[in-house]
Structure 1
């Protein structure tokens, strides 16, 4: 397929941003059926930042379709199946392996293409696993402060974090920021090719970035739920805009970091 970068660039172009989706029981009119969905907050955040949201079904998407878009967002959702990072299943881990396979394939394809990639919550975990990293399957087992990340079913927590100097997070958010969050898992062993660029005070990894190649950022929190702070989405859409013009993003600020130069709590 031809890349969007090969198309004539026009003034006012809104970058095409692909978003992953998932199957969920839904109701509309007189119907109750399984639907491929994405929470509206993601779509609205992309549109507000100047992008055109395009939804990818959770099965059967040929990774070659990424040649038609200018950026990929891997959204949040259910736990990643531990089989994909060589671990035994925790009793509280809930997964959809077919979705994992789909999201992992798209993530790897985006990285190989140098396509701008923004991975959110589960998406950050997918990014880490795609490159060989592992996950903490249940934060309360190892962190007495874990309740702040998932206070109760259906209610977001709020996490404050500090960013690493020289990182994309620092460039976009400054030295410190906070965001809604909702997760009981987190990154454990960080994959080769990623660097930690934000941590909460208790040491929980809040952001990772690629150290070389194209622009890729994974965040453990939910920036789409904070409409008052669109900086991450605006930064991502701006990079996608450059990609659409045929200017491949560099490794970015994180490319100058080394794995040992990660944030400290």
Structure 2
């Protein structure tokens, strides 16, 4: 049986040692986490005006990855913190159009960190531009309040590896908060969509190979992608 094909919108990098110049990148750990879960990770270029119906032919799931900060204009604000970094309007446009298309058309979606934030912004929510106590290099328990089984988890508490200085402020219509940090920050959501669609603020790829629940999350996503592939 072939591996479900998982689209990951690549991020822009000013330079990398391998390319010498500007590059598009997908975090290696993220791609390896998808592969370990049985999926085929495929990086896609962010371009303006994508015809996602065409570009996503043969794609079975969409993973919205982490990355740099979103332009606050996407959620009706101006930049109000000096800590907002690497804003790229093209990346925001591509992310928003992709996640909206995938959700509207019943393609399974897993949104991670920035991916969760862009989904919230795309659906009408807002973000805290800079947290008083950022969760960077931060590993701590997250309590999942609902949909534990649907996430493929065997426990309502997960050790979440976080790297973010922004977080959801106003929750968008269509997002249901299902997990929080000890401080009460939004850490996981169920997204209202025809297919399986969830978002997490942490990075399950960081410790998928040493913390079983993180790999189980990827496995559930890939399993849903396989089900989608079988129907299409």
The TM-score, its normalising length taken from structure 2, stands at: 0.91
From 69, 76, 88, the counterpart of 1:79: 69
Say whether the 8 Å CA contact 1:173–1:232 is kept in structure 2: no
From 20, 29, 34, the counterpart of 1:41: 29
Distance 1:203 1:188 in 2: 11
Distance 1:103 1:212 in 2: 17
Between Structure 1 and Structure 2, whose CA radius of gyration is higher? 1
From 151, 156, 163, the counterpart of 1:182: 163
Aligned pair in 2 of structure 1 residues 212, 17: CA closer, same or farther (>3 Å)?
closer
From 32, 38, 54, the counterpart of 2:20: 32
Distance 1:53 1:212 in 2: 22
From 57, 63, 73, the counterpart of 1:67: 57
Say whether the 8 Å CA contact 1:164–1:170 is kept in structure 2: no
Aligned pair in 2 of structure 1 residues 47, 166: CA closer, same or farther (>3 Å)?
closer
Say whether the 8 Å CA contact 1:163–1:169 is kept in structure 2: no
Aligned pair in 2 of structure 1 residues 126, 168: CA closer, same or farther (>3 Å)?
farther
Is 1:108 the counterpart of 2:100? The answer is yes
From 111, 116, 141, the counterpart of 1:119: 111
Distance 1:195 1:27 in 2: 38
The TM-score, its normalising length taken from structure 1, stands at: 0.80
Q: Who is 2:226 aligned against?
A: 241
Which runs of no fewer than 5 residues in structure 2 stay unpaired?
none
Say whether the 8 Å CA contact 1:163–1:170 is kept in structure 2: no
Q: Who is 2:42 aligned against?
A: 54
Say whether the 8 Å CA contact 2:113–2:164 is kept in structure 1: yes
Cα shift at 1:234: 0.6
Cα shift at 1:194: 1.0
Which runs of no fewer than 5 residues in structure 1 stay unpaired?
1-11, 141-145, 151-155, 248-265
Aligned pair in 2 of structure 1 residues 35, 172: CA closer, same or farther (>3 Å)?
same
Greater fraction of residues in helix: 1
Distance 1:241 1:158 in 2: 31
Say whether the 8 Å CA contact 1:25–1:32 is kept in structure 2: no
